[in-house]
């Protein structure tokens, strides 16, 4: 028993964190999808080997597992990286490899978006050249789509950095309906979203701690007031107890634990709720400055809200766990 | 990450499970916070000791098994899974003993630990006073030096002392330097409750059991050997115990895993009451018990690898105490009108309400988390 990252996993986490600090400051999160700064971030991830993280060595990848995916995505989440890292590295790998198309993921950068519901809209659609469509809940066929001739219709979004589009057309390269592969891709999507939410939560708390330590009212830092301290302590509490659940889910998927579906549901439900609390607390403790778009906090809060809702909301995953516990809900399963 | 148990750990689990299955009383014991129930619990404690299960993590020479921290966690899981009785010895074995191991003299350890393991000496914690609860440094009970007799004379009052009326010994803080302020000038004393000048009066807790006591000291003499650690260093010695109390040792995850499973069973048995909103609450409680376990696995890894949990033990305390209340609230809602009878769930509910108060209120814990983990300004 050793519930901690290995030295190698810790190194990966630190290298990604350093990369994100250097190449993904808030100004880059705000950039247009075709900005050179985002290209540079994308190249940085390629140099780390991120696109092939989960691809087998036979296919030209690194052959690593979900214990590495979690630290990578926690850190890209921390930075709200405006690229489909989760989708390309986490979700697409197994699907493209199963279709004999792994090479398409190694042609440069974070190239693949995802639309698990099959009903869009799709995040980071502007840059993506590939799309995986379908597989909601870990079952059903997933289409692998080449987007070179697709139509991208921008959708006004809460998160301006999301580059949300509705996609029409495109060329279906293949369809994966192997239930093992589809389930794995879904579980990695859920797990990866949970990991990003942990990173986002930590970022929002860091920003808030810094702000309330320097902002003075009534002659003292507002962070010295108990009402502020207690809110932030409560938010940290939820984050600190969600993070181990995400780490465990990574391990469960990596070893093919029979309870891995339950474990990723637990991770996503806890991480979504923690991130929503962190976002609300961060905005409240910042006061009015947090309710502006000039200040950077909203970039992270909006990403957190989107990810909390995607790949199954907290309530959706709690319902899955209730089923696992034999507490069959009497109502219908929420669609998302 | 390696979340698998070793062969020897699995064997340890199997041995514990087998022994507990054969020995845990079939009928639940009466509350250990009543005089009659306490006596029954002592019989159980002595049975545990005789089989070597009362203090598994202690060295063999003191009655333990030299079990690792991992094995201790496993034992706790099995203990609660088996529905075994509450540990009326817990304040001694989980709170005082770690302090004795760290600060005690050889003689103190040799004298006190075996008797504690065997449930011959029963220890209560003497910290709170009428004027010193969360503000523990406000302690006014004092110990005056008696050079002639070679010891100390204790005067003052402790209160809200759990099971004080049934215990034989008290560990507590007394002011030994009348000039020093606040947390300076305190000394940690180990006091037999039959010392002349000590009077114990039990009183009822919220659940109606005589689980509390106030302890009066009227010029009660204790020898120098009753001092744990250095004179006037009692605060530092005591803080070592607060880490244990808030963190792992007092509330292991096994306790909540078992309680959450029982809650799920209750919900399944009361499907007529378990409408979707209540199913959701039960599920959330079960998830939180899992989260508590996973947090502790990471924490034990830290401890084993030499990274002290420090102020992170306040996170444990906040999480398990608030989880325990939600758990019992959900159970009572499932029970409906039956929940007003005196039953294990209603008792558990009343007990859970003490969780955010004892071992440092949750308001204090949130201050600690905010200041020491997040780094927010103290003033």
Q: Per residue in A104-127, pLDDT tens? A: 999 889 999 999 999 989 999 989
Q: Hey, is the C-beta of B369 within 8 angstroms of any chain A C-beta?
A: yes
Q: How far apart are CA B316 and CA B305, in angstroms?
A: 19
Q: Name the domain boundary from B208, B234, B260.
A: B234
Residue B96 belongs to a domain: no
Q: Hey, is the C-beta of A329 within 8 angstroms of any chain B C-beta?
A: yes
What is the 3 state secondary structure string of B275-304? CHHHHHHHHHHHHHHHHHHHHHHHHHHHHH
**Comparing A18 with B134, which gets the higher pLDDT?**
A18
Cβ distance of A229 and B318 shorter than 8 Å: no
Q: Hey, is the C-beta of A332 within 8 angstroms of any chain B C-beta?
A: no
CATH number at residue B24: 1.10.540.10
DSSP H or E stretch at residue A153? strand A151-154
Residue B312 C-alpha, separation from nearest chain A C-alpha, in angstroms: 10
Domain range list for chain A: 182-324
Residue B102 belongs to a domain: no
B302, B305, B378 member nearest A224 (Cβ):
B378
Binning chain B into helix, strand and coil, the percentages to the nearest 5 are 50, 15, 35
In this structure, are B53 and B156 located in the same domain? no
Q: Which residues of A touch B379 (CB under 8 A)?
A: 220, 224
Residue B378 belongs to a domain: no
How much is the mean pLDDT over chain A? 96
In this structure, are B217 and B255 located in the same domain? no
**From edge to edge, which strands make up the β-sheet containing A171-176?**
A112-115, A130-134, A142-146, A171-176
For residue A334, pLDDT over 80 is answered with no
Centre a 10 Å sphere on the Cβ of residue A213 and count the other Cβ atoms it contains: 16
Residue B110 belongs to a domain: no
In this structure, are B251 and B229 located in the same domain? no
**What's the pLDDT score for residue A333?**
57
For residue B239, pLDDT over 70 is answered with yes
DSSP H or E stretch at residue A69? helix A66-78
Cβ distance of A4 and B305 shorter than 8 Å: yes
Cβ distance of A224 and B268 shorter than 8 Å: no
Q: How far apart are CA B189 and CA B154, in angstroms?
A: 10
Provide the 3-class DSSP secondary structure of residue B233: strand
Residue B2 belongs to a domain: no
For residue A214, pLDDT over 80 is answered with yes
**What's the pLDDT score for residue B244?**
59
Provide the 3-class DSSP secondary structure of residue B309: coil
Residues 21-80 of A with CB under 8 A from B: 67
Q: Which residues of B touch A209 (CB under 8 A)?
A: 374-376
How many domains is chain B partitioned into structurally?
3
Read off the pLDDT of residues B45-91 as tens digits, 9 standing for 90 and up: 999 999 999 999 999 999 999 999 999 999 999 999 999 999 999 99
Q: Which residues of A touch B4 (CB under 8 A)?
A: 1
**What's the pLDDT score for residue B181?**
87
Residue A230 C-alpha, separation from nearest chain B C-alpha, in angstroms: 5
For residue B248, pLDDT over 80 is answered with no
Residue B377 C-alpha, separation from nearest chain A C-alpha, in angstroms: 5
Cβ distance of A1 and B367 shorter than 8 Å: no
Phi, psi of A143 (to 5 degrees): -90, 135
What is the 3 state secondary structure string of A185-238? HHHHHHHHHHHHHHHHHHHHHHHHHHHHHHCEECCEEHHHCHHHHHHHHHHHHH
**What's the pLDDT score for residue B168?**
97
Which of B245, B284, B333, B371 is catalytic? The answer is: B245
Q: Hey, is the C-beta of B275 within 8 angstroms of any chain A C-beta?
A: yes
**What's the pLDDT score for residue A329?**
66
Q: How far apart are CA B158 and CA B142, in angstroms?
A: 11
How many beta-carbon contacts under 8 Å exist across A and B?
150
Chain B interface, best mutation among A237, A270, A313, by max B CB count within 10 A: A237
Cβ distance of A244 and B291 shorter than 8 Å: yes
User: Using an 8 Å Cβ cutoff, are A60 and A154 in contact?
Assistant: no
**What's the pLDDT score for residue A97?**
98
Residue B1 C-alpha, separation from nearest chain A C-alpha, in angstroms: 5
Taking the C-alpha atoms of A255, A257, A261 and A262 in order, what is their torsion angle to the nearest 10 degrees? -130
User: Using an 8 Å Cβ cutoff, are A300 and A207 in contact?
Assistant: yes
A3, A245, A325 member nearest B3 (Cβ):
A3
Q: How far apart are CA B39 and CA B50, in angstroms?
A: 17
Please report which confidence band the pLDDT of residue B243 belongs to, taking 50, 70 and 90 as the band edges.
low
A67, A236, A321 member nearest B1 (Cβ):
A67
Residues 47-76 of B with CB under 8 A from A: 70
Query: Rounded mean pLDDT of B321-329?
Result: 98
DSSP letter assigned to residue B129: B
In this structure, are B226 and B252 located in the same domain? no
In this structure, are B360 and B267 located in the same domain? yes
For residue B34, pLDDT over 60 is answered with yes
Q: How far apart are CA A289 and CA A332, in angstroms?
A: 41
Smallest Cα–Cα separation from B366: which of A227, A201, A206? Answer: A227
Query: Rounded mean pLDDT of A185-195?
Result: 98
In this structure, are B365 and B256 located in the same domain? yes
Q: Which residues of A touch B287 (CB under 8 A)?
A: 266, 269-270, 318, 321
Residue A68 CA, distance from chain mean position: 14
**What's the pLDDT score for residue B352?**
97
Q: How far apart are CA B120 and CA B122, in angstroms?
A: 6
In this structure, are B212 and B258 located in the same domain? no
Residues 334-353 of B with CB under 8 A from A: none
Please report which confidence band the pLDDT of residue A330 belongs to, taking 50, 70 and 90 as the band edges.
low
Pairing of strands B151-158, B142-146: antiparallel
A213, A321, A326 member nearest B377 (Cβ):
A213
For residue A245, pLDDT over 80 is answered with yes
Q: Name the domain boundary from B40, B64, B88.
A: B88
Read off the pLDDT of residues B153-205 as tens digits, 9 standing for 90 and up: 999 999 999 999 999 999 999 999 989 888 999 999 999 999 999 999 999 99
Residue B80 belongs to a domain: yes
Q: Which CATH class is domain A182-324?
A: mainly alpha
A9, A212, A245 member nearest B376 (Cβ):
A212
The token duo for B282 is 């039960």
B70, B267, B369 member nearest A236 (Cβ):
B369
CATH number at residue B271: 1.20.140.10
In this structure, are B69 and B141 located in the same domain? no
For chain B, the maximum distance between any two Cα atoms, rounded to a whole number of angstroms, is: 73
DSSP H or E stretch at residue A132? strand A130-134
Cβ distance of B3 and A9 shorter than 8 Å: no
**What's the pLDDT score for residue B246?**
61
CATH number at residue B146: 2.40.110.10
Q: Tell me chain B's radius of gyration from C-alpha atoms.
A: 21
Read off the pLDDT of residues B261-314 as tens digits, 9 standing for 90 and up: 999 999 999 887 777 889 999 999 999 999 999 999 999 999 899 888 889 999
Q: Name the domain boundary from B44, B67, B88.
A: B88
B245 is catalytic: yes
Read off the pLDDT of residues A277-312 as tens digits, 9 standing for 90 and up: 999 999 999 999 999 999 999 999 999 999 999 999
Please report which confidence band the pLDDT of residue A331 belongs to, taking 50, 70 and 90 as the band edges.
low
Residue numbers of the domain that contains B362: 247-373
Residue B77 C-alpha, separation from nearest chain A C-alpha, in angstroms: 15
Residue B162 belongs to a domain: yes
Residue A306 C-alpha, separation from nearest chain B C-alpha, in angstroms: 22
Can you tell me which residue has the tokens 């007003």? Answer: B340
Q: Which residues of A touch B376 (CB under 8 A)?
A: 209, 212-213, 221, 223-224, 228-229, 232
Q: How far apart are CA B336 and CA B202, in angstroms?
A: 33
Residue B281 belongs to a domain: yes
Q: How far apart are CA B370 and CA B378, in angstroms?
A: 9
**What's the pLDDT score for residue A336?**
61
Query: Rounded mean pLDDT of A308-323?
Result: 96
The CA–CA distances, whole Å, from B112 to B87, B161, B174, B190 equal 18, 20, 20, 10
**Comparing A9 with B183, which gets the higher pLDDT?**
A9
């Amino acid at each position: 028993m050793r519930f901690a990252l290995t030295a190698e996993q810790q190194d990966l986490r630190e290298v990604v964190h350093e990369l994100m600090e250097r190449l993904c400051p808030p100004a880059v999160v705000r950039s247009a999808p075709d900005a050179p700064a985002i290209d540079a971030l994308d190249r940085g991830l390629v140099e780390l080997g991120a696109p092939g993280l989960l691809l087998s060595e036979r296919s030209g990848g690194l052959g690593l597992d979900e214990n590495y995916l979690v630290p990578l995505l926690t850190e890209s989440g921390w930075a709200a990286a405006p690229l489909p890292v989760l989708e390309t590295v986490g979700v697409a790998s197994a699907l493209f490899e199963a279709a004999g198309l792994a090479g398409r993921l190694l042609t440069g950068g974070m190239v693949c978006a995802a639309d698990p519901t099959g009903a869009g809209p799709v995040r980071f659609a502007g840059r993506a050249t590939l799309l995986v469509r379908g597989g909601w809940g870990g079952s059903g066929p997933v289409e692998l789509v080449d987007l070179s001739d697709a139509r991208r219709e921008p959708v006004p979004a809460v998160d301006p950095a999301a580059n949300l589009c509705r996609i029409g057309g495109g060329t279906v390269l293949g369809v994966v309906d192997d239930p093992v592969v589809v389930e794995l891709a879904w579980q990695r999507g859920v797990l990866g979203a949970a990991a990003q939410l942990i990173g986002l939560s930590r970022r929002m708390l860091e920003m808030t701690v810094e702000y309330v330590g320097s902002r003075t009212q009534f002659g003292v830092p507002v962070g010295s007031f108990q009402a502020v301290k207690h809110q932030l302590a409560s938010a940290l509490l939820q984050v600190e107890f969600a993070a181990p659940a995400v780490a465990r889910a990574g391990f469960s998927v990596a070893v093919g634990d029979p309870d891995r579906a339950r474990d990723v549901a637990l991770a996503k439900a806890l991480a979504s709720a923690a991130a929503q609390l962190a976002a609300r607390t961060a905005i409240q403790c910042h006061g009015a400055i947090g309710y502006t778009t000039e200040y950077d906090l909203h970039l992270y809060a909006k990403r957190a809200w989107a990810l909390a809702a995607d790949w199954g909301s907290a309530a959706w995953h709690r319902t899955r766990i209730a089923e696992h516990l034999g507490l069959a809900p009497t109502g219908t399963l929420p669609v998302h | 990450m390696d979340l698998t148990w070793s062969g020897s750990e699995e064997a340890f689990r199997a041995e514990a499970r087998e022994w507990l299955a054969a020995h845990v009383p079939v009928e639940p014991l009466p509350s250990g916070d009543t005089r009659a129930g306490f006596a029954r619990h002592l019989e159980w404690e002595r049975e545990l000791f005789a089989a070597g299960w009362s203090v598994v993590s202690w060295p063999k020479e003191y009655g333990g098994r030299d079990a690792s921290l991992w094995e201790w966690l496993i034992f706790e899981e099995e203990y609660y899974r088996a529905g075994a009785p509450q540990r009326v010895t817990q304040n001694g074995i989980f709170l005082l003993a770690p302090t004795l191991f760290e600060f005690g003299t050889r003689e103190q350890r040799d004298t006190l630990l075996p008797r504690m393991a065997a449930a011959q000496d029963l220890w209560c914690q003497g910290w709170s006073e009428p004027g010193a609860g969360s503000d523990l440094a406000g302690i006014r009970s004092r110990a005056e030096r008696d050079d002639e007799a070679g010891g100390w004379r204790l005067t003052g009052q402790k209160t809200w002392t759990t099971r004080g009326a049934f215990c034989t010994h008290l560990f507590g803080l007394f002011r030994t330097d009348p000039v020093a302020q606040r947390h300076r000038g305190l000394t940690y004393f180990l006091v037999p409750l039959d010392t002349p000048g000590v009077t114990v009066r039990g009183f009822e807790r919220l659940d109606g059991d005589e689980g509390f006591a106030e302890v009066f000291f009227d010029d009660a003499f204790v020898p120098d050997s009753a001092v744990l650690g250095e004179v006037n260093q009692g605060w530092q010695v005591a803080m070592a115990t607060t880490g244990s109390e808030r963190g792992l040792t007092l509330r292991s995850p096994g306790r909540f895993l078992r309680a959450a499973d029982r809650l799920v069973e209750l919900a399944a048995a009361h499907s007529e009451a378990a409408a979707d909103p209540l199913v959701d609450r039960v599920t959330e409680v079960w998830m939180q018990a899992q989260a508590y376990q996973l947090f502790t696995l990471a924490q034990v890894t830290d401890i084993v690898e030499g990274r002290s949990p420090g102020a992170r033990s306040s996170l444990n305390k906040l999480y398990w105490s608030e989880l325990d209340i939600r758990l019992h609230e959900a159970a009572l809602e499932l029970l409906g009108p039956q929940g007003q009878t005196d039953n294990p769930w209603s008792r558990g509910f009343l007990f859970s309400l003490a969780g955010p108060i004892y071992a440092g209120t949750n308001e204090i814990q949130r201050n600690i988390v905010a200041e020491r983990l997040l780094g927010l300004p103290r003033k």
